[in-house]
Structure 1
Amino acid sequence: MGTTPYHKRGLTLVELMVTVAVIAILATISWSLYDQQAAKNRRTDAIIALQGAKVAMEQARGDTGTYNAAALGAYLANHPGSAAGASYQDCSSGRGYTGPAGGPFVSCRGYYTITVAAGADTYTLTATPGAFQAAEDGRCGSFTLNQAGVQGLVNGGKPGTVAECWSQ
């Protein structure tokens, strides 16, 4: 009787390790891209808050004739911000920030602190990232918006541009 050759089926250890290595490389690349997109999405929190605060500043000026901090505080006491932790939809349909009259104001999702530097005829709103967003976002620093609608950045050495960071 003749012997029939026996064929082994399955993967060798080398083939399995190559497959694991390829999966690890793809996971590393995709995780990095996910982190970048998540940081970009959190920037929307700052933009919504600044736009909401700009509307409040203009309404306060319409009611009081000035942008000064006392007038803003009185206005905000009667027109509270959005609820803390609100969804992006609720943030954009509300004020976009939360906090007591006079501050400190926090963006709806809590990733940024909003400050106001106001004079009689001018103001600058600044959205400063909290520790988590500052650590996670390697491109953009603090966002600024003034009474003329000029958008700006205080990058702190980060490479992002105004156009890149303010785009949604």
Structure 2
Amino acid sequence: MSYRQRGLTLVELLVVVVIVGILAAVAYPSYRNQVMRSNRTEARVALEQRALQIEKCFTRFMSYASEQCAATQEGANVETPERNYRVTIAGNETTFTLTATAINGQVADTACPALTIDERGRRLPVACW
């Protein structure tokens, strides 16, 4: 009568663990990079919405810095809903610049630490938009 061994040996199990570890080491940085890039959408949306609100104020009050405009008064240090960016506003009666600066976990996005848009619609840095 012959006895047949079933199951895995320790060497086979170690080979599988090493292969999974190598795959994870390659895949995780790529995954994190993609998450950082997708989080930039949050900043772009927040900047576009705030710029639209400020433009509406300019149309109504003929000034970007009008005290009657709630969008400019609330524009200082507002965080995005997921708390990945802080949106700030700088400007005067005829110009404005909105900046979304990375905070919390998004700080690791060194390629695009801050995104800006101004009254002319210029978006910087171009590669991040």
TM-score range, shorter chain: 0.7 to 0.9
Look up the match of 1:20: 17
Consecutive unaligned residues in structure 1, runs of 5 or more: 80-99, 154-161
Three-state SS of the structure 2 residue aligned to 1:74 is coil
Please list the CA deviations of residues 115-149 of structure 1 after superposition, one character each: whole Å capped at 9, or x if unmatched. Answer: 111122221111111132113x2321100101111
Residue 102 of structure 1 and its aligned partner are, at CA, apart by 5.2
Residue 26 of structure 1 and its aligned partner are, at CA, apart by 1.3
Consecutive unaligned residues in structure 2, runs of 5 or more: none
Look up the match of 2:92: 119
Residue 61 of structure 1 and its aligned partner are, at CA, apart by 0.4
Contact 1:74–1:101 (Cα < 8 Å) also in 2: no
1:42 aligns with 2:14: no
1:139 aligns with 2:119: no
Identity of aligned residues (%): 34
1:62 aligns with 2:59: yes
Three-state SS of the structure 2 residue aligned to 1:125 is strand
The equivalences for 1:140-155 within 5 A come to 140-153=112-125
Mean Cα deviation higher: 54-63 or 27-36: 27-36
Instruction: Provide the rounded CA distance (Å) in 1 between the counterparts of 2:40 and 2:110.
Output: 12
Please list the CA deviations of residues 43-66 of structure 1 after superposition, one character each: whole Å capped at 9, or x if unmatched. Answer: 111101100011011101001101
Instruction: Provide the rounded CA distance (Å) in 2 between the counterparts of 1:44 and 1:54.
Output: 15
Look up the match of 1:88: none
Normalising by structure 2, report the TM-score.
0.86
The equivalences for 1:65-80 within 5 A come to 65-68=62-65, 71=66, 74-76=68-70
CA RMSD of aligned residues (A): 2.1
Aligned partner of 1:49: which letter? Answer: A
Residue 9 of structure 1 and its aligned partner are, at CA, apart by 3.2
Instruction: Provide the rounded CA distance (Å) in 2 between the counterparts of 1:17 and 1:30.
Output: 20
Instruction: Provide the rounded CA distance (Å) in 1 between the counterparts of 2:98 and 2:56.
Output: 15
Instruction: Provide the rounded CA distance (Å) in 1 between the counterparts of 2:76 and 2:110.
Output: 27
